[in-house]
Amino acid sequence: MSSTGSDDSYFLLVDCNSFYASCERVFQPALRKRPLVVLSNNDGCLIALTPEARRLGLELGDPYFKKQDVIEKNNVAVRSSNYTLYGDMSRRVRSTLKQFSPHLETYSIDEMFLRLTGSPHRDLTQYGHHIVQTVKKCTGIPVSVAIAPTKTLCKVAMERAKIEGQEDVQNTANWKDPEAVLATLPVEDVWGIGSAYARTCRQAGIKTALDLRNCSSRWARNNLTVTGLRRKRELQGISCIPLEPGSAPKKRITCSRMFGEKITEFQDLREAVLTYTRHACKRLRDDEQCAATVQVFIRTDRFVEEKKYSSITLQGLSQPTDSTHVIARKACRCLEEIYRPHYRYHKAGVILSELVPRDKIQRSLTKAETSPPDEKMMHVFDEINKKFGKNSLQLLGEGLEKNWHMRRNHLSPAFTTRWQQLPIAHTV
């Protein structure tokens, strides 16, 4: 497959294998040969499985309660989602990969693109193996690497590796028959081709990645827009989608959770909304942004035979702010507006939108809800929580018991972010 770019310019896609499960195994050696599954929020469904667990017939998305017999019979280890651990391990993987190339794009928590330009390494497959070994040695996380002249072909190569169970290195230059590989990939599985585009393709007789690669550019542009045309060219080995090393500013920040137990009382809902507001505002300050709009939503369980209700509303601010207590007041007003008694609420959330960089706020001529002292107070607030633990300082209205907290009965320790939970090495 040829590329219009330099012959020594390649993309690498690094994919962490069974990432959540792999993170759990790093600090728990007893799990390394034992089947392991990781559960979704509220310990609902299986969202990560080791190969040993898959061989038992377990699949992603299986409800946990329906598979408990299989899990207990086969001594399968179970862990609740530990997103703090997974986020920190993802940062460690990225840090390790930067020694191979400064050109790195974080595509997701477990996938990163790298760009090699002017690389002296002729044997890219061997270089890929070196990356796999280095990441494993430095972080304990097993990864797969796909190498190709375009990002889309990297995704194709990785898809092929997963289908064939070859979780190591896939180099498209080593494929004996690239067209045969593309002919086996359904068009809907091509990166960037969603269900709507896939229907359009199939109606035109385009059923595989090879068909998409060979279709006319005019048809792709007219029916799949510029996005589809770029995917077509990328399948031809022409790089059209550049690396995006810097993360784009967020357009909104959402913090929402399902409750461990159904909520009926307004006070419990208020505690949850205030807690989510505090977390959302912390993320807002971490991104050095301010919000001009606050939204709150609540809903009952859509999958249970009982009275259903859902609602969302918003409150605007006279001036964008990142002040937790100012935004919390607006969030409480939103909740008061949409709350209805006699319902069993299953989920609530807070959305901060109309975000602007902190240094580009248009100051209001009228009295603003926030002031310079608020900014200093939030800085102290964050510093105390950073030093003594993220929940050391909370809003008064958040309460102490929090029986509505998300259910995580199989949660592993915070091995990398809490001193009290650091793993201890014992001599034999």
Query: What DSSP letter does each residue of 172-224 carry, written as one string?
Result: GGG-S-HHHHHHTSBGGGSTT--HHHHHHHHHTT--BHHHHHHS-HHHHHHHH
Please calculate the CA angle 73-78-83 and round it to the nearest 5 degrees: 165
The confidence score (pLDDT) of residue 1 equals 42
Going by their DSSP bridges, the two strands 36-39 and 77-80 should be labelled as parallel
Q: How far is CA 368 from CA 198, 280, 290, 303, in A?
A: 49, 21, 13, 43
Considering only the top CATH level, what class is 19-81? alpha beta
Query: Look-up: residue for tokens 């069974």?
Result: 18
Q: Which CATH number fits domain 10-17+86-235: 3.40.50.300, 3.30.70.270, 1.10.287.3510, 3.10.310.30?
A: 3.30.70.270
Q: Where are the domains of the chain?
A: 10-17+86-235, 19-81, 252-398
Looking at domain 252-398, its CATH architecture is 2-Layer Sandwich (3.30)
Supply φ then ψ for residue 35, to 5 degrees: -55, 140
- Which residues, 6+ apart, have CB-to-CB distance to 339 below 8 Å? 266, 269, 298
The confidence score (pLDDT) of residue 269 equals 95
How are strands ordered across the β-sheet holding 169-171? 104-108, 111-116, 10-16, 143-148, 169-171
The confidence score (pLDDT) of residue 2 equals 39
pLDDT by residue, tens only, the chain of 428 residues: 433 334 457 899 999 999 999 999 999 989 998 999 999 988 989 999 999 999 999 999 999 999 999 999 999 999 999 998 999 999 999 999 999 999 999 999 999 999 987 655 568 899 999 999 999 999 999 999 999 999 999 999 998 887 766 668 888 888 889 999 999 999 999 999 988 899 999 999 999 999 999 999 999 999 999 999 999 999 999 999 999 876 667 889 999 988 988 999 999 999 999 999 999 999 999 999 999 999 999 999 988 888 999 999 999 998 899 999 999 999 999 999 999 999 999 999 999 999 999 888 776 656 666 666 787 899 999 999 988 878 889 998 998 777 777 788 899 998 888 878 888 877 76
Cα 311 to Cα 297: distance, rounded to the nearest angstrom: 6
Exposed, middle or buried: residue 259 (CB in 10 Å: 0-12, 13-18, 19+)? buried
